[in-house]
Structure 1
Amino acid sequence: MGKSNPHICFISQQVYCYLTDGNYESAGGAERQQYLLGKELRRRGFEISYITGDYGGLGEETIDSITLKRSIPMNVGFSGAHKKFLGLFRAMRNLNADIYYVRSSLVLFIFATAISKIINKRIVYVVASDQTVEPERLDDLEHGWFSNISMKRLTQPIIKRLYLRSVGDADQVITLTNHQKQVLQEEYDIPATVVPVGYDLPPADDILDPSEREYFFWAGRLTPDKHPDTFLDAAAQLPDEEFVMAGPKGGHPEFTERVIKTASSMDNVTYIGYVKPTTIHEYFKKSMGFIQTTGTTAGFGNTTLEAWRFATPVVSLHSNFDGTIEQRELGLYADGSVDLLAEHIEALSDSPEQIDKYGWNGREYLDDHFSLASIGDSYEEILTDVVG
């Protein structure tokens, strides 16, 4: 394998559901991006492999000439840490990739960084959220090793130090936003390169006319940080509008059950649960608007870009994306107000012209700034340089 086409191995427990037809509910935006990036890099001549969770048992399989090693035990907690490390070590050593790529998984990244030093390989780390770089939020970062509160508090500083040391030891750190890059540099003196998420575009003739769209859509994990309850608060103010909510339950059972119970009691809301990545596009496509309730500064998220792929307007509750959503007329911003969110939803419903304008502006913005081809160009240059 020449220097221009190194072997890249993605390490992700949950990416398996994007690579197979299995009905697994644990994957999200980070896993979808690794799946899409792997496809794009393979198209460019890179050798691609994945180390995933042990769905269906430990083993190896090949899909479209891509090797998948199901090597990471899915059990959580401190008792399973050594099994994860050993499974990951064996897989990384056997695959013998030039570069190992990790995004978002804190524990796997710590392990992979240590292993990469042992086997003399390169590692690339991608910061997936503000929570994994901002000092005040790192103190509360969930590492999942202990359910006992006292043990969590005891081990949190140790995990934080191990994590930051691993970030500093990575051969290349990539952030999704300038904010994340700035925090890494100013707080920890760690340099990084910004590469946002990327998507391809469906054909223009796949875009539905506003008259063919049926409802307002929300998608994400049913967790407090995604604020599905706020989406339901807005829907409650608009009994004549139809709403669809999609997403897996997440790790907060009491909150999740409360949200599902509320949605089930509402005549104008349909909760469809987890939707496979291969079919969720149809829901974005048929939507009059995508309702973005996540409170974040982490740039344009996967669901926002999924909406723009199909010229679906975005109505954002908490983030105006540094003013871009208003300046470029990409959608509507509610400035944290549920009442204003409901007003914006109603305004879109009453105006096919606004649906068209905001939706197509968003699609054009995606094509200009987040196309998979341009993201692939950035990664091709970075990964080739990492190998040297």
Structure 2
Amino acid sequence: MERTQVGIVGAGPAGLLLAHLLHAEGIDVVLLEARSRDYVENRVRAGVCEHTTVALLRDLGLADRLDREGLPHGGFSLRFDRADHRIDLAALTGRSITVYGQQEIVKDLIAARLATGQAIEFEAADVALHDLDTEAPRITWTDRDGRARELRCDVIAGCDGFHGVSRPAIPAGARTFYDHTYPFAWLGVLAKTPPSHEELIYARHERGFALHSMRSPDVTRLYLQVDPAERLEDWSDARIWDELAARLSVDGDFTLREGPLLEKSITPMRSFVTEPMRYGRLFLAGDAAHIVPPTGAKGMNLAVADVRRLAPALVALLDKNDTQLADGYAEQCLRRVWRAEHFSYYMTTMLHRAPDADPFADRLQLSQLRYTASSTAAATSLAENYVGLPFD
């Protein structure tokens, strides 16, 4: 049987950043990932990094490529009533966001870990967690060569996402799920074309929500609100571009730049929280513990906030047998999680057209948007949540 201090399940942003933080403090880590390196480095995910996330990566010396290739944004547009209404993040908060794909952060973190001589066990199959309520939890798996492996740990960190094995390993009686499913989904496309606008556009339209984002100066990310039952094969490239043009249209100077579609997907929208985020010697972080709809751009940033709090808690626990931070981990994380859940719900319900919305609900939605765009107080509240609240 192999031995380590912390076994981390999942090599996404949460698991990789946690491994980096623990290694810097001299904590021994084994990092397992079910997928291949190529898969995790190229799966397109979120692209908005909060001010606090960027600052942390810079402090850790992990932001060289982010600073070279990331796209700083000092604001974004709320588009409704056929007009742009800019939320000036920099003026309202003194902070900004950076557009830099999650997969790029994953590449940077993998490179940083491998540069220190630390391995990542990719393509770990049949991962299972055992003895979580003891001081010697275990992880079993089958490695890429087909060998059965077993790892004894002091602590296990479950960073393996919503569909991973970590959260289900907690006994049903020791966990509570809070779940909300939205009556719409996002049809997302990646287009080989320069962005049509210098900043993100969140558009509320009577035909449904649309989002204009970007991944680089030459690649645009775009989304359409659709029914969850829609099928990709029913959405031709021409239909997608026509619908985007309709929902992003304004009375003014705006031209939607079209180009070849590199990728299409349909993603359901949900909010989900597990309480608590700890069971025995298992600590959950990131999507393993909570999901937010992407409207508020909080998913990856919450994962970063989780492990920033988890790392010092584990160092204190393992180096000094000090349990205070570990015992408070779940409660402290959940304060931020629920704030992000509320903000994401607010952004989602303010911008999406509910399928059963009556004219009264439509007018309320427009009233909220108009107030947000015209009130400094309302715009500041939106802006400070969007750029990222302080970690502490």
TM-score (norm 1): 0.35
Structure number with the higher strand fraction is: 2
TM-score (norm 2): 0.35
Higher relative contact order (CA 8 A, sep 6+): 2
